[in-house]
């Protein structure tokens, strides 16, 4: 009985997971590319790995926030986070809690889940009929 009641909120909760995850992810892109919020680092050199990641965080994060092309965007961003973990974090230390890569791992798997589950409610994909809610 409780499971049935909770299941009614599955699509809405998935939509909230997508939006909140994407908003936080988007902030990484705005910081790298737009300099907001300010950080101690300068802007990355154009077409460097950091710049490319920032552009994907900015554009992909925005597309996930609004829920447009959610599955392919989430697939690309999941791959980006796997790549970021193995290139930037794993060489520093074996343990994610020590190498600072725990957020990259979480983003990787949240985005991978969105690839298979879809965007949920509150998405342009659902509004345009590309996805069933």
Could you state, in order of their start, the residue ranges of all structural domains in the chain?
A: 13-127
In angstroms, the CA 130 to CA 133 distance is 10
Tokens of 31: 């910081």
How far apart, in whole angstroms, are the C-alpha atoms of residue 126 and residue 123? 5
Written as six digits, the tokens of 18 are: 């997508």
- The answer to whether residue 100 scores a pLDDT higher than 90 is yes
Average pLDDT of the residues of the chain: 96
**Which pTM does this prediction carry?**
0.93
- Dihedral over alpha carbons 4, 11, 71, 62 (to 10 degrees): -150
Q: Rounded to whole angstroms, how far apart are CA atoms 106 and 98? A: 15
pLDDT digits (tens, 9 = 90+) for 27-82: 999 999 999 998 888 889 999 999 999 999 999 999 999 999 999 999 999 999 99
Q: Say how many Å lie between the first and final Cα of the chain, rounded.
A: 22
């Amino acid at each position: 009985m409780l499971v049935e009641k909770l299941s009614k909120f599955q699509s809405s909760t998935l939509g909230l997971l997508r939006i909140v995850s994407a908003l936080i992810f988007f902030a990484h892109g705005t910081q790298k590319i737009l300099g907001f919020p300010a950080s101690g680092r300068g802007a990355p050199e154009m077409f460097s790995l950091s710049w490319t990641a920032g552009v994907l965080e900015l554009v992909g994060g925005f597309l996930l926030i609004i829920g447009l092309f959610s599955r392919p965007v989430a697939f690309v961003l999941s791959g980006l986070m796997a790549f970021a973990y193995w290139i930037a974090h794993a060489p520093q230390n074996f343990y994610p809690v020590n190498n600072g890569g725990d957020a990259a791992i979480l983003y990787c798997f949240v985005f991978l889940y969105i690839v298979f589950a879809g965007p949920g409610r509150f998405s342009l994909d659902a509004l345009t009929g590309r996805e069933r809610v």
